[in-house]
Amino acid sequence: MSATALATLEANGAPDVLVDYARFVAGLNIGPDAKRNRRNAASELLGAHPDLKAWMARSTRSRLADLARTRAWSFITWCFLEQILVPDLDLLLTKTPGDLYAEWGRRHADEVVRVREVARRYSWSANWTRDVTRNALAMLCLWSGKVLDELTDDIFDAFTAALADTPSARRDARLHNQARAFSLHQACYELRICGHTPRKNRPPAATVAETLRALPQPEIRRVALRYLDVVATTLRPSTVLLRADSLIVFGEYLAAHHPDISRLAQLERAQIEGFLVWNHGRPWRGRVARDKPVAASVSKRTVVDLRAFFEDMAVWGWADRPSRQLVFASDIPRLDRPLPKALPPDVDRDLMAAVAGLPDPFARHGLTILRGTGMRLGELLDLELDCLWDFGDRGTWVKVPLGKLGTERTVPLDEETLAAFDAWMALRGPQRALTHPRHGQPADFLFVERGRRLSAFRLRHGLDQAVNDAGLTGRDGHALRVTPHQLRHTYGTSLVNAGLSLQALMALMGHVSAEMTLRYASLASPTVRAAYEAAMTKARARQALFVTSTGRPAAPDRVEWLRSEMLKTRVAHGYCSRDLVADTCPYANICEQCDNYVTAPEFQPALEAQLADIHTLRDDAQARGWDSETARHERVIASIDGHLRRLRNHA
């Protein structure tokens, strides 16, 4: 376009925006007719709608009709690029962008290159890299009026919300652009532009107050909220929410069966007994609702939480508490105690051989580490880069992070497990630290891929694939069902079978009580079998044959037994069978001489009878010249005399 034509537009009073656009079109590498068509289209649109901002407020359908009639999309595109107008998502998602995104990419080539570099590190496909660096980056920057370095977490959140509210866009268009924006958010976090990792489009977790809105009785709800606020200072947030759910279950029962009860002070034992019966067979509720009775563990947890609620209020002296104790320890259901479900040795061997051939490196290395360390699934996913500790001649150990029981521990690694750690670290590559959900601080998680933490889904899927590859089937002929937690049970069982002490196993498994570890001692292991065989061999060797002669009783009386077997000493529920040639027993009568031994008046006859036996044994030892045996009996006599004297004085 010549200078004369521009002067003509200005002389005719053309809008400044049209003059500037005509100057831009003049510099395009297109023919004269195409330039004229673009100027005419812009002039026609401006003639019908001189206020472009007012035109942008029209409905999307009306604007699309205007653009189809005037063919002025190139002019509107230029207005967007020059930030004369700010595009709305509804128009961008329903109108083919044409060269809008490509032109924006040419104007911001350095920003596109930076995002493309992150895509290369994350191993995105070529198509996905183009979608994110061209479409998503241009769309979000145009919509927000920002450049790449000005994007924030709030802008991404607002974009996601606006995307969900677009009225004209199809569902698939919203989903595709939401996924592209998610990946762009990841890239911005990796470039240290954004401060938080992107999160899935899930509603935030409900607070305790929001959860308790389901409690039907307002007065009970008020007390429950106050109670949960107090216990939240010592319990984990998830535990507090579970306790809130138990109180809601109890409130729903009262609303359905005792609607006249609105305060805790009105409760009687009869209502609790009815609740215990109903709770035992109630169906599942909430998001897992189904027409089946709840698991026994869920039913027990509800009773335990309700008992803690009442007992805590009574201890604290709250005025809103029930007038007396309503839930007792005997009301808590007793659960079955199944043995750990370890895999048989042949199944374990075949399964791990199939795991070693899995194509997914995360499943291959993650399952190997699970089997070689006995970690829980959550503990594995929470491992950080500095989890390996080298102790020199004591080998390499892994520090297991805080898990289910809130404890840390270290576990030694064998060569195969350590190789799995090294192989995964080589594949992981550099990643920016992510926010730890427990304490909110940055953490270099070990199992991260493409800037995101890996979930348990791929491990479970890999385990199912390994079961199929190994050809493992159950009794019904279908594929054997194996869970990741069974690898932990198999780890503990194999160590018990190899002779590991229960104290050491307790430390390796991260148990906080010996009761949890003792379940592994109940397994049919070679250790238990060897101990059983040794005990049975001794029992058979010592078994006596009673020969009854004519005219004599089948068993000697107590006096004859003492005279014939003078070293046999009375113990609780039986007698000591120590051999005659043995020296003084260091454990004999150890309880009667212990400082912690406490007797009672009902045991006085037994103590007097035991004292008479000890006197007889002492006299016999003196006659035989057994000085050490005599001294031992003297100590026992003195101790029993003291106990009897205290009993008589007390009486």
For the record, the structure tokens of 590 come out as: 């150890």
Q: pLDDT digit string (tens) for 486-501? A: 999 888 888 887 777 7
Amino acid making up residue 515? E
Task: Please tell me the pTM assigned to this model.
Answer: 0.62
At residue 481, does pLDDT exceed 70? yes
Read off the pLDDT of each residue in 444-458 and give the average, rounded to a whole number. 87
Q: What is the mean pLDDT of the chain?
A: 82
Read off the pLDDT of each residue in 161-190 and give the average, rounded to a whole number. 88
At residue 627, does pLDDT exceed 90? no
At residue 171, does pLDDT exceed 70? yes
Read off the pLDDT of each residue in 263-273 and give the average, rounded to a whole number. 91
Q: pLDDT digit string (tens) for 589-616? A: 667 667 667 777 888 888 888 888 888 8
At residue 215, does pLDDT exceed 80? yes
Q: What is the pLDDT of residue 230?
A: 93
Q: What is the pLDDT of residue 114?
A: 93
Long-range contacts of 334-341 (CB under 8 A, 24+ apart): 335/296, 335/297, 335/300, 336/296, 337/519, 339/519, 339/522, 339/523, 340/489, 340/492, 340/493, 340/519, 340/520, 340/523, 341/486, 341/489
Q: Using 50, 70 and 90 to split pLDDT, how confident is the model at 556?
A: very low
For the record, the structure tokens of 541 come out as: 């060797």
Strand order in the sheet with 396-400: 388-390, 396-400, 409-412
At residue 565, does pLDDT exceed 90? no
CA 426 to chain centre: 26
CA distance 576 to 566: 11
Question: Which CATH code of 3.40.50.300, 1.10.443.10, 1.20.140.10, 1.10.630.10 fits the domain covering 345-521?
Answer: 1.10.443.10
* Crossing angle between the packed helical segments 237-257 and 296-316, to the nearest 10 degrees: 90
The residues spanned by each domain of the chain are: 3-190, 208-331, 345-521, 558-650
Q: What is the pLDDT of residue 251?
A: 92
Q: What is the pLDDT of residue 340?
A: 75
At residue 549, does pLDDT exceed 60? no
Sign of CA dihedral 520, 526, 530, 533: positive
Cα-Cα-Cα-Cα torsion 613, 615, 620, 624, nearest 10 degrees, comes to 130
